[in-house]
Structure 1
Amino acid sequence: MSNNNPKEGIFKNKIVLVAMALDATTFESLSPSRFVSFTLPNPTCSHSLLRVAVLDSPLQSTHPPHVAAMLVPQGRETDWIFSTKFGHLQLLFTSPGISRLILIGNQLNESDFDSSPYIYHRPLKCSLHHQGFEVWSKPLLLALSPKSLFKNCIPEIPIMSYEDNLVSSVVIHQCASSHVGEMLVEDVEIETQSDMHHGCLRMEFRRRLRFKRMPNLIQTEVLIAPEIDPGSNTVRIGEAKFVPDLRVLVHPYLAPMVASLSLISEYIEQQIQNGFRPKALCLGVGGGALLTFLAIQLGFEVIGVDSDREVLKVAKNYFGLEDSEFIHVIVGDAIKYMKKLAYHRTLHSKSSSVDHCEHDGFDHLVNGEVTAHKFDVVMVDLDSTDVRNGISSPPLEFVRKRVVLAAKLVLSEFGILAINIISPSQSFYDKLVNHFQKVFHELYKIDVGNGENCILIASISPQVFSDRDCSNSFLLRLKSVIPETYINSIRKI
């Protein structure tokens, strides 16, 4: 064995595995953001191949470098999470400090897709694990490791496994738009924890929207119910037709966002008692679950604004979003639209000698768009997505003072602004809070509880809230349709 290069001496006979597809020297050094994939004969099955994908992190800061391998779950080899560079990059970023990530999984054959569409059911066990994978893969993993990893000794390459709550899935629609690129709609069966104290699991059917540019992120998620005969006892993904059930919000941050309404529940109750329907402006529509929930479950009149026509088409065809008397969907840039509303509202106020009632309905439309009236709540569900830096919400543009002022101008006297926050850094969050404190009277926060999101709530007027008001029918209704824990967790900043 050579003291200078133990890797060469140990694997001079093994490295042929890599050489069959590529020059072995390709992997001797790290190259930020380089992505290479190839196939190899499966050593445990002569009639099948393995797909190997190697990605070097765009952030090379560890010395010596850290290399890790991950097994692709059996049956999910074609999922964008495991078959694209975007998905691979997100997997790498979920394990901080990894310099090179190696994915190994089965290479599926055309015969594996005899059924159309392809239906995934989680196997009882992973075949790679149960055929000595950790033993026969070691030479390959070392051959795919950079030379700098061998300065002191032969390294151990950790093997990670990917686990989530997915039980079954089937893609029911796939399309693309000029804004977000390729996207898919899938019906899934997942395991959910129904009892936080005893950890009991139950099965639940959901419909999801995912983008190829960020395949590990669920963009939209709603409950679905099977259309089956009353006498049927079993339902499986791919064997029944499902329809959206929009009575419950399952996307993690939507229920906390709705919980913000408890701060102005007395005001909303008073407006309802006076015969006025509360009004909401939703910046960002996605699958439309929030719009539909506000209208159906809480009696709001809602305007939703989104720039992507194809996403809105998917929302209407697959997620139950419908234009109606109380749900209005507008195609356009959400921030520009809000600024436009603020501008029209300013002109409206200056030109009117008589102060209009703030709840006199949607004043009028120009080219199908509302131009002047105030909202009880503005809910912001916009993000800035970069596969390299992850997702942040809201977009940086929202931090600008002119945008914050526009949000204030479109709100009624006791209105609130509720924003989904995914902060890429503490400085981003601090800057956002600072901007809102300069414009709004009070700020509140709700922790979503998933380690990523929080809801920031800004109010124009001081809030006096009592969660024990049994005479407030709106508050009672709110508590009946979202978990009360979110209401109780509201904290003033």
Structure 2
Amino acid sequence: MALDASTFETITPSRFIAFTVPHPTCSDSTLRVAVLDSPLQPTDSPRVGAMLVPEGRETDWIFSTESGHLQLLFSSPGISRLILIGTLFKEGTLTLLQSRAYHRSLECSLQHQGFEVWSKPLLLALSPKSLFKRGIPEIPLLSYEDSLVSSVVVHECVGCHVGEMLVEDVEIENESDHGREFRRRLRFKRMPNLIQTEICIIPERDCDGVCIGGDVGFVPDLKVLVHPYLGPMVAGLVLNSEYVEGRIRMGFRPKALCLGVGGGALMTFLRNQLGFEVMGVDSDREVLRVARKYFGLEECEFVRVVVGDAFESMNKLVCRGKLNGRRSSFDDCEVNGFGGHLVVEDEVNCKFDVVMVDLDSSDVRNGVRSPPLEFIRKDVLLAAKLVLCEFGILAINVIPPSRSFYDNLVSHFQEVFHELYKIDVGNGENFVLIATASPLVFSVEDCGNSFLMRLKSVIPEAFINSITKI
């Protein structure tokens, strides 16, 4: 359907329109044009800004979604209308472009050459009439800068539940020491805003001039958690660290249940850095294959993975905890490791010192939201509590789409669990909620607690100190 040129003559708060037009200089591509009006009431003298999407980053959430465009608009003070222009390549050309590396310093400057010339008629046609009161206006060209230096897609595949996903290696600027580091990311295309897993990677061999997309490969470095909310989730273990320490002194290995495996970074960290026995549950077999091949997930005596639904798996664990001394396999799940079955020695050994939940909504219409609404049901929360030891904790990543969602979540947790704590991750998006199965008395002082000392050595103490009771 053709657009009416008069549509753009006035500023309409929060209006978002995206369309395509032929590229004026490249026959193998079209232009995606997105026009977003600020949700704030326009002034008498509205300002229009334009931005060219860096080539190779057209599918990044910030350049391809309305919520991303809104963030760009808010990061440009005083702009009433943002016009974003990006290139859409034909399918064969796009595949070729995705297989090569993106380099910010080289490509951005080259791409902007000539943009001011060929884009001006289009930008003027998309500007409101009030902008022409004093003649033909100048439309400022805005620039976007983030920490990404270069990237390359190293693998693409499709999972039965998560759909299309990709693995990419990136080089980013480290803001703390102004250096650079390499990371590997797992992205689900159904949620362009969501980096599902991010880990550090290091070159396979030492040599000069190592870069993303070059001849030198990279391998996972799993000593630290770099994904924003994983460190705070693990920091929650300070709440029952005294109990965990007591279990270790009695000769027991602490146990963790991870609902949502993704790349497996959290599972591997809990096993390698804190000595946990870990069970992970994920619904998508393809995600687990990617985790093993690209993110260093290795199953062993103390790391096992269940392919199945997180909620059903919890219910089966609850039932299994009541089967004292009996051996039974997951009826509808595939268990990798331990010969495909669990041996239940007693009810206590069937329970976990911590349950960590990293599940996001699969409904893309509602944007990024975590956890899914199904997890807030009382029967699910009760099951989560029942698989915990007496002094166990549940740590959950929360991305609230609204304040009401967050308040409702807190209310449901408080109905089931004894105490509730939170950590603000500090990225403006994630919170970590920590629920306790029983009242806990804890101290952040070491006082001979070797587990707490170990925890502090691998998790920034700022996360531990930021835990507040709700």
Question: Could you tell me the TM-score, scaled by structure 1's length?
Answer: 0.79
Q: Kindly tell me: are residues 409 and 316 of structure 1, through their superposed partners in 2, closer, same or farther at Cα, counting changes over 3 Å?
A: same
How many Å apart are 1:469 and its aligned residue?
Answer: 2.1
- Given the alignment of the two structures, is residue 126 of structure 1 paired with residue 116 of structure 2, yes or no? no
Give the match for residue 172 of structure 2: 190
* Unaligned runs of at least 5 residues, structure 2: 332-339
In 2: Cα distance, 1:59 partner to 1:131 partner: 28
Task: State whether residues 39 and 107 of structure 1, in contact with CA within 8 Å, keep that contact through their aligned partners in structure 2.
Answer: no
CA contact (8 A) 2:37 2:81 kept: no
Corresponding position of 1:40: 23
Matched residue, 2:249: 273
Counterpart of 2:200 in 1: which secondary structure?
strand
> Are residues 216 and 408 of structure 1, via their aligned partners in 2, closer, same or farther at CA, if it must alter by over 3 Å?
closer
Structural mapping, 1:82-97, within 5 Å: 87-95=64-72
Q: Deviations over 1:396-421 (max 9, x none)?
A: 11211111111111100110011111
Output the CA distance in 2 between the equivalents of 1:133 and 1:465. 60
Is the 8 Å Cα contact of residues 330 and 369 (structure 1) preserved in structure 2?
A: no
SS at 1:123's partner residue? helix
Q: Does the alignment pair 1:76 with 2:76?
A: no
Counterparts of 1:157 and 1:226, CA distance in 2:
44
| 1:237 equivalent among 202, 212, 215 | 212
Which of these residues, 231, 249, 264, is aligned with residue 255 of structure 1? 231
In structure 1, distance between residues paired with 2:98 and 2:427: 35
1:9 is matched with which residue?
Answer: none
Q: What does residue 444 of structure 1 align with?
A: 421
Aligned-residue offset at 1:105? 4.0
Question: CA separation of 1:148/1:220 partners in 2, compared to 1, >3 Å: closer, same or farther?
Answer: farther
CA distance in structure 2 between the partners assigned to 1:283 and 1:309 by the alignment: 14
Q: Deviations over 1:202-261 (max 9, x none)?
A: 110100111222223211101111111x4x233111221111111110000001100011
Identical counterparts, % of pairs = 62
Q: Cα distance 1:93–1:111, how it changes in 2: closer, same or farther (>3 A)?
A: closer
Partner residue of 1:140? 122
> Judging changes above 3 Å, is the alpha-carbon distance between structure 1 residues 58 and 146 closer, same or farther for their aligned structure 2 residues?
closer
**Partner of residue 179 from structure 1, selected from 161, 167, 177:** 161
The one-character-per-residue Cα deviations of 1:60-118 (angstroms, maximum 9, x if unpaired) are 99679997532111x425x4228x9x923342242578997643245769899879931
Mapped partners of 1:114, 1:154: distance in 2: 40
CA distance in 1, matches of 2:440, 2:136: 63
CA 67–445 in structure 1, closer or farther in 2 if over 3 Å, else same: same
Bigger radius of gyration, 1 or 2?
1
Q: 2:5–2:125: 8 Å Cα contact kept in structure 1?
A: no
Pick aligned residue for 2:383 from 406, 418, 423: 406
For 2:446, the equivalent position in structure 1 comes to 469
1:340 Cα deviation from its structure 2 partner? 2.6
Distance 2:208 2:153 in 1: 24
Deviation at 1:262, TM superposition (A): 0.9
Given the superposition, is the C-alpha separation of residues 377 and 60 from structure 1 closer, same or farther in structure 2, using an over 3 Å criterion?
same
> Would you say the 8 A contact 2:15–2:37 is kept in 1?
yes
For the residues of structure 1 that align with 2:237 and 2:59, how far apart are their CA atoms? 37
Give the aligned residue type for 1:161.
S
Deviates more, 1:409-418 or 1:398-407: 398-407
Could you tell me how far apart the structure 2 residues matched to 1:369 and 1:260 are?
Answer: 30
Maintained 8 Å contact 2:32/2:87: no
Asked if 1 retains the 8 angstrom alpha-carbon contact of 2:33 and 2:86, the reply is: no
Work out the CA distance in 2 between the residues paired with 1:116 and 1:92: 22
Task: Tell me if 1:306 matches 2:285.
Answer: no
- The answer to whether residue 462 in structure 2 is matched with residue 491 in structure 1 is no
Alignment TM-score, normalising by the size of structure 2: 0.83
SS of 2:84's partner is: strand
Measured at CA, do residues 76 and 236 of structure 1 come closer, stay the same or move farther in structure 2, by a change above 3 Å? same
Q: d(CA) in 2 for partners of 1:146 and 1:180?
A: 41
How far did 1:128 drift? 6.8
Query: Residues 452 and 136 (structure 1 numbering): CA distance in 2 closer, same or farther, change over 3 Å?
Result: same
Q: Distance in 2 between matches of 1:420 and 1:464?
A: 23
Alignment of 1:339-358 (within 5 A): 339-345=315-321, 347-348=322-323
How far does the alpha carbon of each residue in 1:270-329 deviate from its partner, in whole angstroms, 9 at most, with x for none? Answer: 111111000001110010000010011111011110111111111111101122111111
Structure 1 CA distance for aligned equivalents of residues 160 and 96 of structure 2: 31
Where does structure 1 lack aligned partners over 5 or more consecutive residues? 1-21, 195-199, 357-361
Distance 1:158 1:436, change over 3 A: farther
Deviation at 1:28, TM superposition (A): 3.2
Distance in 1 of aligned mates of 2:361 and 2:100: 32
Aligned partners of 1:436 and 1:23: how far apart in 2?
50
- Are the aligned partners of 1:39 and 1:49 in contact in 2 as well (CA < 8 Å)? no
The SS at the match of 1:183 is strand
Q: Is the 8 A contact 2:420 2:434 kept in 1?
A: yes
Q: Identify which of 425, 429, 432 aligns with 1:455.
A: 432
Indicate conservation of the 8 Å contact 2:35/2:81, yes or no. Answer: yes
SS of structure 1 residue aligned to 2:428: coil
Residue 323 of structure 1: which of 299, 306, 315 is its match? 299
Paired residues, what number?
A: 445
Query: Closer, same or farther in 2 for the Cα pair 1:383/1:112, shift >3 Å?
Result: closer
CA RMSD of aligned residues (A): 3.6
Instruction: Report the AA paired with residue 59 of structure 2.
Output: W
The 2-side partners of 1:57 and 1:105 are apart by 14
